[in-house]
Structure 1
């Protein structure tokens, strides 16, 4: 198995550190009243513009806005934002990194314990069965953006932060990373991050050498996940030569949405199944751990955002399963035989056109097929170049994909085969090599 190096990771990290905004805040949570009250100060605002935007969940309102201690006007725009609101600040002169923007917010959330939250998803701020959950996608804290940045789904704010959280009816609170703490504690990160997870409520937690476990108390389950984390991390690290995290947070936060498995807000992996059983979770965990690579190290962009984010993560999960437990690929392969969500990537104009059925199944199999055609070494080189070597502002993901294949040493004939046999047509015979690997273990 070949390794490849990513010298640009150091440069990306240094750039991100220099550009990160500082978020200081006080957060008051009440499960009984179903409220979130925030008081935030933002500094080192690297926008240099007189017009900036603040994004918050649609159930959280900005009550007061100050710039360097002086009240300023802010208005809610009519711009489209899925389950969020966009506020705009217009000033007579540009905001500078030395300025301090102060926001006071108040919001609400719903509580469920009766099986009625069947449309639950990552972007919700919700109390399910006594535990409040809010990911970065829910915009529970203010996201700060400059002009002309709202058009990209991948647009996020990098923060170093210190947030003091209080909740009189919560046993524990978890924000961002590290161990959960009691009410009145401060949660800090000196490492810039675009992902700040909030978990608060009635839960226990346990820390091992491989993970921090939230709301999981069965020792046999924890031992199983420890071994799985170790195995998956080792495989991804060997394959990519990227140092994987020493420790994730794994939280079991049951949801009523039976068709949803969970999500990753690095370093937090959230499983939302009603019952957490070790059986059949290998595919789930290998997918979520892969999001450290595809979503954290690699930053998906363009109109093929969901292919680059989710299909690549599932592709690596497939690689892991084929390497260690090919029998676990039997179910995905059977689902592929019935797939009806084929998407022609060359026809995609907007990222929403890449459906769930495509991004979590067909797209991953297509990436396996491309690797089968060009070999793992060139596939790894292609992946590196696709995500890390972009020096242009190209937004057409398909053109970028073809250009990167060529620049990675893939010849014209192979690229033509990829286009005609894999991307533009859905032929099940293209994927029989997977069935061959499954059969060798039966």
Structure 2
């Protein structure tokens, strides 16, 4: 995607959620899908549901519920949300209710049956596309966890979406297709049982496409040969190794790279990607030319893939609270700077940072510490201004402390929502003086002139 001042950025909507304090919800059941008509029918049982005081069950607004049932007695469960239901994101909010429509406790397990039909995009385009949209064309059916194509429980009190689930799901298709659900290799056929004991966000990608297996890593729907995929994964492995080394956090999962066809216009030379870890989806990329023989990835694509892979550490585990967009997107973009400097050199990243700073001269963004609602963090805030705040932190306190602080934030995020106060505590833990971190917070996060302070610092240091 092309931004002003020739800045190449990734537009990315995230979505995988980890919380160590929760039990992992399990989904068992069946899916029946017809790619040619855009129809999907699901019969699921959700179990191992943690005790949550205040909850809603989210399901895509294009899905029609047949029933909720008690897992043990098979009795129907009354519910609210079927009439004038409230919307949260892509889903309608449902709660279980008694005969007087009073909300009742969320049980440890329940059954649900529902179906939906979605429009087919052949050669047409929509006015938008994003991670939360269920997209069907004449060849593939794409639905990520953000779309809420499966029931997602939302813990209101802790502002957490329980999107990551273990599962055992039988998938039936109307004709022979390639069937993929996150956490399992793609399979061919029209009837397959897929299981995962590791909790993952349920990305569904079904249709008429090929794939390449490279030592347990896969590229789907890209129409490339094995030598090409080997070159791509060699470059990706460089990024993974740098992350693991710098952050002292393992990055050893096999990954799935999926080429999909967006239904929004993508400018020539642009690309759009999102992730449902460990899957990464891209539109607009020519995979056959991504890494040509004897060459490496272009600097632009290093930034692009590094951002995506950075969500291994900063994804929906940090997707809660009023600063969620900063933690998710700005941090991933900052991580891509680290990778780009290692692979493409300091001169390249200095030039990039100065370009980013230049793009801010005509903007006016609120200081981070004054943000009260995630909606106040716009796309440019997330991907231009926010990463520069992190870069100022690194310039002032050094790379070593920055990497240790990032490590600490990843670990803390598995138990609680990140905040500026937690950021401060992490910095102090690793040697930053209290006075110095308070000075940083004042000048770069609180002051009404914070954005200009960020720009001046970047220009001075790069």
Provide TM-score, normalisation by structure 1. 0.85
- Count residues with an aligned counterpart: 413
Matching of residue 351 in structure 1 with residue 374 in structure 2: yes
Contact preservation (8 Å) 2:38, 2:141:
no
Residues 281 and 48 of structure 1, relative CA distance in 2, 3 Å threshold: closer
Candidates 24, 31, 41, aligned match of 1:27: 31
Contact preservation (8 Å) 2:30, 2:44:
yes
Question: Quick one: distance in 2 between partners of 1:431 and 1:405?
Answer: 20
Residue 33 of structure 1 aligns to a residue whose secondary structure is coil
Contact preservation (8 Å) 1:31, 1:170:
no
Question: Quick one: distance in 1 between partners of 2:228 and 2:130?
Answer: 25
- Give per-residue Cα distances to partners, 1:155-191, cap 9 Å, x unaligned: 2244210111111245211011221112210111011
Matching of residue 206 in structure 1 with residue 212 in structure 2: yes
Contact preservation (8 Å) 2:31, 2:171:
yes
Q: CA deviation at 1:121?
A: 0.2
Contact preservation (8 Å) 1:176, 1:198:
yes
Residues 59-98 of structure 1 aligned to structure 2 (within 5 Å): 59-67=62-70, 68=72, 69-76=74-81, 78-91=85-98, 94-97=105-108
Residues 240 and 274 of structure 1, relative CA distance in 2, 3 Å threshold: closer
Residues 56 and 412 of structure 1, relative CA distance in 2, 3 Å threshold: same
Contact preservation (8 Å) 1:158, 1:192:
yes
Residues 417 and 35 of structure 1, relative CA distance in 2, 3 Å threshold: same
Residue 240 of structure 2 aligns to a residue whose secondary structure is helix
Contact preservation (8 Å) 1:66, 1:103:
yes
Partner of 2:119: 110
Residue 189 of structure 1 aligns to a residue whose secondary structure is strand
After superposition, the CA RMSD in angstroms is: 2.7
Partner of 2:357: 336
Q: Which has the higher contact order (CA 8 A, sep 6+)?
A: 2
Question: Quick one: distance in 2 between partners of 1:13 and 1:56?
Answer: 21
Q: CA deviation at 1:104?
A: 0.4
Q: CA deviation at 1:30?
A: 1.1
Residues 341 and 249 of structure 1, relative CA distance in 2, 3 Å threshold: farther
Q: CA deviation at 1:338?
A: 1.7
Residue 342 of structure 2 aligns to a residue whose secondary structure is helix
Residues 286-365 of structure 1 aligned to structure 2 (within 5 Å): 286-295=306-315, 298-326=317-345, 328-329=348-349, 330-331=351-352, 333-339=354-360, 340=363, 342-365=365-388
Residues 433 and 130 of structure 1, relative CA distance in 2, 3 Å threshold: farther
Partner of 1:4: none
Candidates 262, 275, 281, aligned match of 1:264: 275
Question: Quick one: distance in 2 between partners of 1:268 and 1:166?
Answer: 22
Partner of 2:451: 426
Residues 335 and 221 of structure 1, relative CA distance in 2, 3 Å threshold: farther
Partner of 1:282: 302
Residues 376-395 of structure 1 aligned to structure 2 (within 5 Å): 376-389=399-412
Residues 21 and 431 of structure 1, relative CA distance in 2, 3 Å threshold: same
Question: Quick one: distance in 2 between partners of 1:84 and 1:300?
Answer: 17
Contact preservation (8 Å) 1:177, 1:249:
no
Contact preservation (8 Å) 2:319, 2:327:
yes
Provide TM-score, normalisation by structure 2. 0.82
Residues 58 and 228 of structure 1, relative CA distance in 2, 3 Å threshold: same
Question: Quick one: distance in 2 between partners of 1:117 and 1:336?
Answer: 33
Matching of residue 239 in structure 1 with residue 246 in structure 2: yes
Q: CA deviation at 1:342?
A: 3.0
Residues 135-174 of structure 1 aligned to structure 2 (within 5 Å): 135-145=144-154, 148-149=156-157, 152=159, 154-169=160-175, 171-174=177-180
